[in-house]
Chains A and B, each alone.
Chain A
């Protein structure tokens, strides 16, 4: 990093793009406190009514609760599986290692529409009704690469000789994992969990195929887009959820950076 003065035009450019990036978000926020159900200039007036009406909108809140359930469950599973794969990746050598790693990383590449319809096929064939569970299963698969990456980089960050020392002192390997490795990677696991949570909470492309009769919040939001008069309530909740997600991301970053 240098302290050379930025050319004026470069700074102008940077902050114009920043303004461009924030503009639509600001519009959303204004929309949620706008008296009209359409967003057109000049604004007629500002109100907090939509936030108040939100408290009585049962279906909206149910959808938000569904998303919470799916996100908590799938992020827990993805963190658990991610921890397992990262320990295998960093501490074991075995023949099918590359295969397992490829399998765990590929969901990052496969288009969501392809994975979505493939899972839809699977659940139809084995006669599993679409529900929050099927959405959660899909989210676990796509969140796994993220949790794997976060936890594996933490494992790479400390010396395996600590584990050796524990075992020389008589601990068996499971005890070493439990008492030495897990406490060391715990911050990374929290960060991985939060990241997986936000990935799932926001996810729409897979959930649209797999949600069935229990919509998650993004799916519900999408289904309500046709009804203009309900839009401000939806946006109001979306703004609240957005603030919540942002806070989670910041906490996740904190945990990831700690002692990193």
Chain B
């Protein structure tokens, strides 16, 4: 990226001749036209809300109007820290997210492997086949599982019809397993994409060389394919883990009160319970946890590796 047109407005201004100077002025004024709208939009509707939420989390109580009579204090955080059930729920949510991401990655690895190495001429078609469910409405796919797992749902009525069970199984819906199953279902196609990208970048000559040296398929996989596809595997893991840990919609639909996740208590404090300062403190902890995760992920994965 060293073409002269990409020099900064400043250096272009010192560029010499009259036309160059004019060009620099042009680019400088264009710069502000391009720069200010996104900056203002993101500042107003992304940065300020989060700063405001951070400020709210330091409000000591819920008395007074939204912006009056603030008593500052750390007691919301103290409450969070003292309440074991919040930590447990954060722990459980992380474990659920971990189970979901590991399962989605393990289940989708063979899919990517098939697409990368064994799908032949119909690779494009097979890929679209995998992606159509992913492009389908998220809410609808979650709802579909509600219909599948319900007491008078598809699975129960099918099992009763066949005669395997007499009474509907209550245990299918409204618990953590239902949430985990639904989320694995939702993420499988998504997890396959980064793994596929990593597999497709492996040089063919490596396999030929390995075969020439007498490596069996199993050893080829363990020594070449798997290690070289690990960046894609890590990427898939984090691309599923990060949104899953902040999930609240799926537990709302298929989890019920027994399948609640951390996101659901935040939602509760901003709707039913109406304790915004405490909800803000819980949100800040969630945000911090997510940012730490992203930081770890960027240490483990080089983004450039995936974008090529």
Contacts and interface: CB of A to CB of B under 8 A. Distances in A.
Given A6-B119, A42-B161, A118 B133 contact: no
B46 A103 contact: yes
Contacts, number: 257
B4 interface: yes
A77 B98 CA distance: 36
B140 A113 contact: no
Interface in A170-224: 172-174, 177, 198, 202, 204-205, 208-209, 218, 221-222
8 contacts: A10-B118, A25-B140, A27-B154, A81-B38, A88-B31, A122-B48, A160-B3, A160-B6
Contacts of B248: 113, 205
Interface string B149-170: 0001110111011000000000
A84 interface: yes
A260 interface: no
A24 B290 contact: no
Given A11-B114, A173-B23, A209-B270, A160 B161 contact: no
Given A111-B286, A118-B283, A93 B8 contact: yes
Contacts of A40: 152-154, 156-157
B72 interface: no
Contact of B38 (A1, A3, A27, A85): A85
A151 B55 CA distance: 35
Contacts of A104: 38, 42
B214 interface: no
B110 interface: yes
A49 interface: no
Contact of B5 (A122, A163, A238): A163
Contact of A164 (B4, B110, B154): B4
Interface string B136-157: 1111110111111000111011
Contacts of B116: 1
B3 A164 contact: yes
Sorted from nearest, which 4 A-B pairs have the closest CB atoms? A111-B246, A40-B157, A6-B118, A24-B144
Interface string B246-279: 1111000100000000010011001100001001
Given A94-B9, A205-B249, A21 B130 contact: yes
A121 interface: yes
Given A92-B6, A94-B8, A7 B133 contact: no
B172 interface: no
Given A100-B35, A117-B270, A117-B283, A218 B48 contact: no
A218 B140 CA distance: 9
Given A1-B120, A6-B119, A91-B5, A103 B147 contact: no
Interface string A223-258: 001000000000100100110011001000000000
Interface string A22-43: 1011011001000000111110
Contacts of B302: none
Interface residues of A, number: 89
B195 to A, nearest CB: 14
Nearest to B23: A167
A84 B185 contact: no
Contact of A125 (B7, B22, B66, B140): B66
Interface string A1-24: 111111100110110011011101
A106 interface: yes
A209 B49 CA distance: 14
A4 B136 CA distance: 32
Given A21-B130, A122-B49, A111 B263 contact: yes
B47 to A, nearest CB: 7
Contacts of B291: 109
Nearest to A161: B3
B37 interface: yes
Contact of A41 (B154, B246, B271): B154
Given A122-B49, A138-B45, A92 B31 contact: yes
A76 to B, nearest CB: 13
A159 B1 CA distance: 10
B294 interface: yes
Nearest to B262: A113
Contacts of B271: 209
A173 B154 CA distance: 62
